Structure 1
Amino acid sequence: MGEHMENRFDHYWYTDIREIVTLKDMLAGSADKYAKNPAFWVKRKKGQPYSPISYRLLQHDVNAIGTCMTEMGWQGKRIAVMGQGCYEWIVTYLAVMNGIGIIVPIDKELSGPEIENLLRTAECDTIFCTKAECSKLKGLPSIRNLVVMDFYGDRLDEEEVPDDSNLNLEKYEGWFEQEEEKKVNVTSWREMLRDGDQLLKSGKDEYLKAEVDPDALAVILFTSGTTGTPKGVMLSHRNITVNIMDVCRIAHVTTTDKTLSILPIHHTYECTLGMLLVLYRGASTAFCEGMKYITQNMKEAQNTVIIVVPRVLEMINDRIQKGIEKSGKADTFQNIMGMNKKLRKMGINLSRTIFKGIRNELGGKLRLVITGAAALSPTIYRNFEDLGITVLQGFGMTECTPLISGTPMSAPKERYRKAGSVGVPVKTGEVKIINKDENGIGEILFRGPNVMMGYYNMPEATAEVLEEDGWLHTGDLGFMDNEGWIYLTGRKKNIIVTKTGENVYVEEIEEYINQSPYIEDSMVFPYDNNGEEIVGVQILPNMEYVRTKLGYEPDREELKDLYKKVIQELNQGMAVYKRIRAVFVRKDDFVRTTTRKIKRHENPVPED
């Protein structure tokens, strides 16, 4: 049996939970309760300060975009949204979800062919895209409607819609075949906002009255297979809203909190926890201008909360340590840190006072960090806690919308909230561990109302991970301590997790590169590059093709150089985080099963 944690961890949960079943409920409730509060912080131009957009204006803009879509006859459509995290992205997401059809978020790092594959699979001919990423859409045959969005210049009051003349829509129209049956309609987000605003003023209310089924398909999120057979996770409003409420039981976010949105917005981690949860709580979000602007934007936004992957925390920690060393006060700092730890053990916590100067380099108001998607070093966890910044770790997956477990914010601080654990299961879910070894380590299974509806049009793949009684095989290995806290020890499934938290599915990469006539077979694997897990590959060359192509038998060095070039070319067809960075050429065939499958753990990296 699974271990249902509803009673076991009741003393941890925050109880000020507003019941919601759809995101339409959520937005209406928040717009009513927090009408004049800032929902988002945006910049008119690069370099300018952040300015607020209120909850009232947010709801109006969602209704305006939704009303324009309704007038255009887009009800029931699958609509893609892609690009840098920005106000226009999230308004589009909510507008589609709350009365139009099914939203299909797409990774802006994907290549054109990968994007086309997802659009075709989702039967999607309409895409909203930020202008910086639009060039990837050139000539894609699935597109019939392109709506161009902008990161800068959002309006800040109901009377002003920013100018969109800088978008040069004619340029985008020239990217597509314009035969009548293939004509692509190109418009701007702001033009749709203006039209929708006028329609609302004229009394058009069809979108406002649209009913939302909490259990119907609302989102298709592609997690893998972008170069082969796409695997789309199907989510409903209830999946998302249940998880929002569960996370709010674990982490206490208030109306005065402000986050800085850093992570890719198409990820369910950033979208659910970094956007929707914040809106549910009446808090606000500022949009980061890019990875290199993180610390600068933190100072400008003065955010109190940040939701990140471990790599971002590592970058911030390195910056802090280098600053201390540069000041020449490293020994003094260590002495103060040691004294502070002793005081904390006595129940006296002066961290916020003692290390105020360091926190000022991070904007001065940061109090809470939520991290997930990859393993966080316990040392870095403790470093931030010692500075007076609460760190909560989570474990989840797209198939669970995403949170499975998390560190309760109310857990005892003097024990660093069990650094190294990914916390306890969410209130509405249950966990069990199967096929345990002698140390109690086995595969983690999860069941709860946040588990996906299944993979889009892939019943066999769904059945492989989702049992009839609702148990989802996470593919992660771990154990639970005697208090019910979860610890991860590895992965059962063949996934490489990059330092930025991106999942790379090895079978997908193998399927893609094995199409090359140069490659007889391949095995993609995580390669340790000085502590960083990168994508590596072992290649079994197709020597007959190589000899025919070259006209002679190459020596060992020539062969290695050849395959590095082959992989470099193949890499251009994949997103940057999926690209193969370590190439090894085999002299002999792989060790295989009797059915000719490669035994992944019995094929070490070949020696030269």
Structure 2
Amino acid sequence: MIQENFIKIYENSFKENWSLPALTDYSKNVTFTFEDVAKEIARIHILFEECQIRRGDKIALIGKDSARWCIVYMAAVTYGAIIVPILQDFNPNDVHHIINHSESVFLFVSDRIWDSLEEDKIEEIRGVFSLSDFRCLHQRDGESIQKLMKSMDEKMEEKYPNGFSKNDIKYAELDNDKVVLLNYTSGTTGFSKGVMLTGNNLAGNVTYAKTLDLMYRGDRELCFLPLAHAYSCAFNFLVPMAVGAHVYMLGKVPSPKILLKAFEEVKPNLILTVPLILEKIYKKMILPQLSKTTMKLALNIPLLDSRIYAQIRKHLVDAMGGRFREVIVGGAAMNQEVSDFLYKIKFPFTIGYGMTECGPLISYDNNREYVLGSCGQILKGIMEVRIDSDDPYNTVGEIQVRGENVMKGYYKNEEATKNVFTEDGWLHTGDLGTIDHDNRIFIRGRSKTMILGASGQNIYPEEIESKINNLPFVMESIVIEKNGKLVALVYPDYDTVDGTGISHTDLPVIMEQNRIELNKQLASYEVVSEIQLYPTEFEKTPKKSIKRYLYSNY
């Protein structure tokens, strides 16, 4: 068990960093100090108390990254409730399902997303609140939340007659073994896995990060990855809030142009990113220079090449604000050409490894110790790793882990929980790899069917296939990744086609219409770029499961 109590970390941080800036909505130029955040948390706690929210009740949260998103998260966990962050990219039906499956009683939501949801599909929600100003958008019949919200100023004055001060901060006494977070890896019924993360799991991530000398009190960080992801939430939010750093929420689509402008203005001290962002910057900023004939000639001249690489590194560092100690890459596999080049020019980057079930960190090396092709050493004193092979240093096997960061299990899913752990208590990661003698992990492939999206999103092909198989004239399907895009292979239902008198030559047009309708049901990162007709039924196992591996390179 981690010695530091997760909730006490923030109780102490708010007191120690009272006057410092904590959260800024970059696009709106609105800043909350730690004092402001603590006061907003106090108001939400009064709301919870008045509505008799109990310890362990679930609070759902969905919307784009913002200061108020962070405030709700922190208010829930410091009260002793369980926060349920939901990716804003999820389809409305998936959002309904997660809210219901998690048994959430309150929902904090952006106005835009609320407009897409249906009240009668989330009947157990007692109150819905806007993330723009915390007003009550909806209350269940019999509730008087809207009336309560109008008297919130009076309630604050009544509870804190001398004004709210740092001495008034006293949060829930909750042992680290209690669940504080339900993080859903997916939205759809039948595939939902609500990862139960405890205070200990999150404290393991936060306390480890505090030992790395990467972030200090008063530092700046720019958050442009979705906070509903465990990776971004831990290191763009929980760690900075624990050390007294200042987080700027980009609040926009992180195109290279927008990002580089924000880097220039914020000048972050640490940058967390996914491979796609660095790959785009490489292609737009660096590759055009390297492709010039004069540059190619110059790079073949001894000594001159090192000076050119140094100039490219300086240009790239300056473009990203010039003050960062390190760029940490995670969430998906890095393009080898890009990582090789960044390593060659001695750019200060490193690649870590984690999964939602570990809240998320499993392994990490600082950029000075980073070994090309690896994803860092297992977290010393926090986690352990083993490879399921006779020779873990040379023969690929499944990567299995255990330790302080490993989840309690999947919410209301005993079967999935049982299946994800070995009999002796190690977590199946579903990844294949080897280790070196320093317990540095080298990932060689994935044993799971899950596809990692370009920005690190988890894509479950079975979910998409279940939707495709319900479309007209589809017998069966399989979704694969091809050149970074999702492609669906479809074996048509020829009996129905022939029975309706439709010509086989019309099938491509029908499938294109199917694809358009399908994508309306999917999150933006799940969209299928093409449906290809497959001539025969797919080969299957004795259990009638499609042998997916036969089609991965189709």
Short-chain TM bin: 0.7 to 0.9
Once the two structures are superposed, residues 527-552 of structure 1 have per-residue CA deviations (whole angstroms, 9 ceiling, x without a partner) of x22xx2x222222222333344xx20
* Residue 161 of structure 1: aligned partner: none
**Distance in 1 between the 2:465 and 2:520 partners?**
15
The answer on 1:113 being equivalent to 2:93 is yes
* Residue 109 of structure 2: aligned partner: 129
Structure 1's 331 and 605: CA in aligned 2 closer, same or farther, altered over 3 A?
A: closer
**Distance in 2 between the 1:511 and 1:380 partners?**
35
- The answer to whether the 8 A contact 1:539-1:583 is kept is yes
Matches within 5 A, 1:75-224: 75-76=54-55, 77-139=57-119, 141-142=121-122, 143-150=125-132, 180=141, 194=153, 197-202=156-161, 208=170, 210-224=172-186
Decide which of 378, 397, 405 is 1:425's aligned counterpart: 378
* Residue 278 of structure 1: aligned partner: 240
* Residue 521 of structure 2: aligned partner: 573
Matches within 5 A, 1:259-278: 259-278=221-240
* Residue 20 of structure 1: aligned partner: 4
**Distance in 2 between the 1:326 and 1:269 partners?**
35
Decide which of 481, 484, 496 is 2:436's aligned counterpart: 481
State the one-letter code of the partner of 1:121.
Answer: H
Decide which of 356, 363, 383 is 1:405's aligned counterpart: 363
- The answer to whether the 8 A contact 1:540-1:587 is kept is yes
The Cα shift of 1:376 comes to 1.7
The Cα shift of 1:437 comes to 7.7
Once the two structures are superposed, residues 231-281 of structure 1 have per-residue CA deviations (whole angstroms, 9 ceiling, x without a partner) of 111111111001222233446222242110010110010001111111222
Matches within 5 A, 1:318-337: 318-321=283-286, 324=289, 330=295, 334=299
**Distance in 2 between the 1:337 and 1:132 partners?**
57
The Cα shift of 1:553 comes to 4.0
The Cα shift of 1:356 comes to 4.4
The Cα shift of 1:554 comes to 1.9
**Distance in 2 between the 1:288 and 1:270 partners?**
13
**Distance in 2 between the 1:31 and 1:437 partners?**
49
- The answer to whether the 8 A contact 2:273-2:328 is kept is yes
Matches within 5 A, 1:547-586: 547-548=498-499, 551-555=500-504, 557-586=505-534
State the one-letter code of the partner of 2:274.
Answer: V
* Residue 42 of structure 2: aligned partner: 63
* Greater CA drift, 399-408 or 374-383: 374-383
- The answer to whether the 8 A contact 1:41-1:285 is kept is yes
Structure 1's 225 and 87: CA in aligned 2 closer, same or farther, altered over 3 A?
A: closer
**Distance in 1 between the 2:530 and 2:537 partners?**
19
Task: Classify the secondary structure of the residue corresponding to 1:105.
Answer: strand
Task: Classify the secondary structure of the residue corresponding to 2:234.
Answer: helix
The answer on 1:545 being equivalent to 2:496 is yes
**Distance in 2 between the 1:360 and 1:75 partners?**
49
Can you give the 5+ residue segments of structure 1 that lack an aligned partner in the other structure?
Answer: 1-17, 151-163, 345-350, 412-416
- The answer to whether the 8 A contact 1:251-1:408 is kept is no
The Cα shift of 1:225 comes to 4.6
Structure 1's 329 and 278: CA in aligned 2 closer, same or farther, altered over 3 A?
A: farther
Structure 1's 569 and 326: CA in aligned 2 closer, same or farther, altered over 3 A?
A: same
* Residue 8 of structure 1: aligned partner: none
The Cα shift of 1:514 comes to 2.6
**Distance in 1 between the 2:314 and 2:334 partners?**
24
State the one-letter code of the partner of 1:146.
Answer: V
Task: Classify the secondary structure of the residue corresponding to 2:352.
Answer: strand
The Cα shift of 1:282 comes to 2.1
The answer on 1:391 being equivalent to 2:349 is yes
* Residue 414 of structure 1: aligned partner: none
The Cα shift of 1:342 comes to 8.1
**Distance in 1 between the 2:41 and 2:275 partners?**
33
The answer on 1:42 being equivalent to 2:25 is yes
Structure 1's 362 and 196: CA in aligned 2 closer, same or farther, altered over 3 A?
A: farther
Give percent identity, aligned residues only. Answer: 27
Once the two structures are superposed, residues 201-223 of structure 1 have per-residue CA deviations (whole angstroms, 9 ceiling, x without a partner) of 24899994532232112111110
**Distance in 2 between the 1:409 and 1:193 partners?**
49
**When the two structures are superposed, what TM-score results if normalisation uses the length of structure 2?**
0.88
- The answer to whether the 8 A contact 1:341-1:386 is kept is no
Structure 1's 423 and 71: CA in aligned 2 closer, same or farther, altered over 3 A?
A: same
- The answer to whether the 8 A contact 1:517-1:545 is kept is no
State the one-letter code of the partner of 1:536.
Answer: V
* Greater CA drift, 593-602 or 450-459: 593-602
The answer on 1:300 being equivalent to 2:265 is yes
- The answer to whether the 8 A contact 2:351-2:376 is kept is yes
Task: Classify the secondary structure of the residue corresponding to 1:273.
Answer: helix
Once the two structures are superposed, residues 410-465 of structure 1 have per-residue CA deviations (whole angstroms, 9 ceiling, x without a partner) of 52xxxxx2121101001211100003589411100000011011011111111111
- The answer to whether the 8 A contact 2:8-2:171 is kept is no
State the one-letter code of the partner of 1:309.
Answer: V
The Cα shift of 1:34 comes to 2.7
Task: Classify the secondary structure of the residue corresponding to 1:376.
Answer: coil
* Residue 368 of structure 1: aligned partner: 326
**Distance in 2 between the 1:232 and 1:331 partners?**
51
**Distance in 2 between the 1:199 and 1:239 partners?**
37
Task: Classify the secondary structure of the residue corresponding to 1:69.
Answer: helix
Structure 1's 430 and 594: CA in aligned 2 closer, same or farther, altered over 3 A?
A: same
Decide which of 232, 236, 252 is 2:198's aligned counterpart: 236
Decide which of 435, 441, 447 is 2:389's aligned counterpart: 435
**Distance in 2 between the 1:377 and 1:179 partners?**
49
What is the root-mean-square deviation of aligned Cα atoms in Å? Answer: 3.4
- The answer to whether the 8 A contact 1:518-1:542 is kept is yes
**Distance in 1 between the 2:4 and 2:206 partners?**
9
Structure 1's 477 and 453: CA in aligned 2 closer, same or farther, altered over 3 A?
A: same
Decide which of 397, 400, 422 is 1:467's aligned counterpart: 422
* Greater CA drift, 370-379 or 394-403: 370-379
- The answer to whether the 8 A contact 2:20-2:218 is kept is no
**Distance in 2 between the 1:122 and 1:497 partners?**
24
The Cα shift of 1:408 comes to 3.1
* Residue 492 of structure 1: aligned partner: 447
Equivalences, count: 542
**Distance in 2 between the 1:377 and 1:252 partners?**
25
Task: Classify the secondary structure of the residue corresponding to 1:98.
Answer: helix
**When the two structures are superposed, what TM-score results if normalisation uses the length of structure 1?**
0.80
* Greater CA drift, 102-111 or 318-327: 318-327
**Distance in 2 between the 1:300 and 1:308 partners?**
18
The answer on 1:288 being equivalent to 2:272 is no
Task: Classify the secondary structure of the residue corresponding to 2:261.
Answer: helix
* Residue 157 of structure 1: aligned partner: none
- The answer to whether the 8 A contact 2:194-2:410 is kept is yes
The Cα shift of 1:228 comes to 3.8
- The answer to whether the 8 A contact 2:80-2:174 is kept is no
State the one-letter code of the partner of 2:501.
Answer: Y
Task: Classify the secondary structure of the residue corresponding to 1:515.
Answer: coil
State the one-letter code of the partner of 2:487.
Answer: G
* Greater CA drift, 125-134 or 374-383: 374-383
State the one-letter code of the partner of 1:111.
Answer: N
**Distance in 2 between the 1:107 and 1:187 partners?**
30
Task: Classify the secondary structure of the residue corresponding to 2:228.
Answer: coil
**Distance in 1 between the 2:434 and 2:95 partners?**
38
Structure 1's 325 and 481: CA in aligned 2 closer, same or farther, altered over 3 A?
A: closer
Once the two structures are superposed, residues 78-134 of structure 1 have per-residue CA deviations (whole angstroms, 9 ceiling, x without a partner) of 110111111100110011011141111001011211111111111124211123433
Structure 1's 333 and 244: CA in aligned 2 closer, same or farther, altered over 3 A?
A: farther
